[in-house]
Amino acid sequence: MALAHAGCVVDAVCPVGHPLGRIKAVRKSHPYRGLMALQSFANAIAATNPDFVVPGDDLATTHLHRLYDLELRQGKDGQSICALIERSLGARESFPVVYARSAFVELARQADIRAPKTEVIANLGELRNWVSRVGLPTVLKANGTSGGEGVRVVYTLEEAERAFRALQAPPLLMRAVKRAVVDQDRTLVLPSLLRRRSVVNAQEFVGGREATSAVACWRGEVLASLDFEVLNKRDSAGPSSVVRLIDNAEMSAAAAKMARRLKLSGMHGFDFMLEAHTGIAHLIEINPRATQVGHLRLGPGHDLPAAVYAALSGESANPAPRITTNDTIALFPQEWLRDPKSPFLRSAYNDIPWEEPELLKACVRQLRKQGGVNLQQTPFHTLAAVRLPRL
């Protein structure tokens, strides 16, 4: 999570050693401790008195929602933190909706936005009933997950039942311990020890191409947006690795309508499916935080950080120069890891943070540590003839 002041001073809350702490713009990193997550956030806010907070993943958003509820019970003593969180994320009444997939889709359908049927599935009996009514294939999604980690597309009832059990099951203790030791992230420890089960949703399958809309909002109004069609992904359920900038009025209208209904502020992402033969857009979910494309500066109306800064400071938006005229963008390091010989690494704009060499080094080292890349065998020159820093 980033903590920002209108004067462009930025602090960060992250695990010790996290690459976020290597960014030059970050003045100071405050430790995030998974077993004391809310206290970590509260301590950082008290130490910095920020004007705005930017969650970088769904877990950070969930922590902010829970911190809001905790501070609300403090009465006058908690007013300043509650005001900060609402200023950064939007109205309090939106919090449970953006976290619950089925509630979000139901709200979209009530607003006459095209969205697939979505229902919470509590047990195998309800799953079988869903399949008999809606059919196969279908999509199962667990609340509180992101990056495709909690999503399964299933084609048979047996596959659906197996996926449902896996998605609903508490985190494995070994997985929780590994994340705590390797990533200094202890957020899975308590759910694993307490055997907490995840809420699983079933969603009607829409065949076609994935798309995403990243938006900057202020009190329910969209200030800037970026609409992309997904061209490549790390894997079938993973994060995007190559995207193409598009102009889709249906996506923009749906995002604007949902931002208004939820009274959103800050940066958010809306995911869509574009029907294979018609291109019709179906809204499938919201990402209630800054997404991986939100930093891309692509001209007036398409510079999210500039739009948020303008809203905070009261000044006119002054977008930075467009980073590229190439509408196709290869995201780092996703496309590089997906296929080091990908033609997109030469034809697309490569979103590599050359201006942040320490961040780049930290990312590569972390990937090596996690087994994501072999620095001795990976042909770095395939990154559009780029040269990675020597480690």
pLDDT value of residue 196: 74
pLDDT value of residue 203: 97
Which residue's structure tokens are 């749906």? 254
Report how far residue 27's alpha carbon sits from residue 30's, in angstroms, rounded to the nearest whole number.
10
Q: Identify the top-confidence range among 89-98, 183-192, 251-260, 330-339.
A: 251-260
Task: Write out pLDDT tens, residues 112-130.
Answer: 999 999 999 999 999 999 9
**pLDDT > 90 in the chain, percent:** 64
**pLDDT > 70 in the chain, percent:** 85
Pick the residue with more confidence: 144 or 64?
A: 64
Task: Provide mean pLDDT across the span 196-203.
Answer: 89
Pick the residue with more confidence: 191 or 116?
A: 116
Buried b (16+ CB within 10 A) or exposed e, 297-324: bbeeebbbbbbbbbbbeeeebebeeeee
Which residue's structure tokens are 């995911």? 271
Domain covering 117-204 in this structure, CATH number: 3.30.1490.20
Task: Provide mean pLDDT across the span 341-352.
Answer: 94
DSSP state of 264: B
Query: For strand 208-218 and strand 221-233, is the pairing parallel, antiparallel, or unpaired?
Result: antiparallel
pLDDT value of residue 61: 94
Would the pTM of this model clear 0.85, i.e. be above it? yes
Domain covering 206-320 in this structure, CATH number: 3.30.470.20
Among 168-177, 304-313, 341-350, 368-377, which stretch is predicted with the lowest mean pLDDT?
368-377
pLDDT value of residue 211: 98
Q: How many CB atoms lie under 10 A from the CB of residue 105?
A: 25
Task: Provide mean pLDDT across the span 267-288.
Answer: 96
Task: Write out pLDDT tens, residues 79-99.
Answer: 999 999 999 999 999 999 987
List, in order, residues 6 or more apart from 83 with CB less than 8 Å away. Answer: none
Whether the predicted pLDDT of 381 surpasses 50: no
Task: Write out pLDDT tens, residues 295-323.
Answer: 999 999 999 999 999 999 888 877 788 99
Among 9-23, 75-89, 244-258, which stretch is predicted with the lowest mean pLDDT?
9-23
Whether the predicted pLDDT of 385 surpasses 80: no
Report how far residue 270's alpha carbon sits from residue 212's, in angstroms, rounded to the nearest whole number.
6
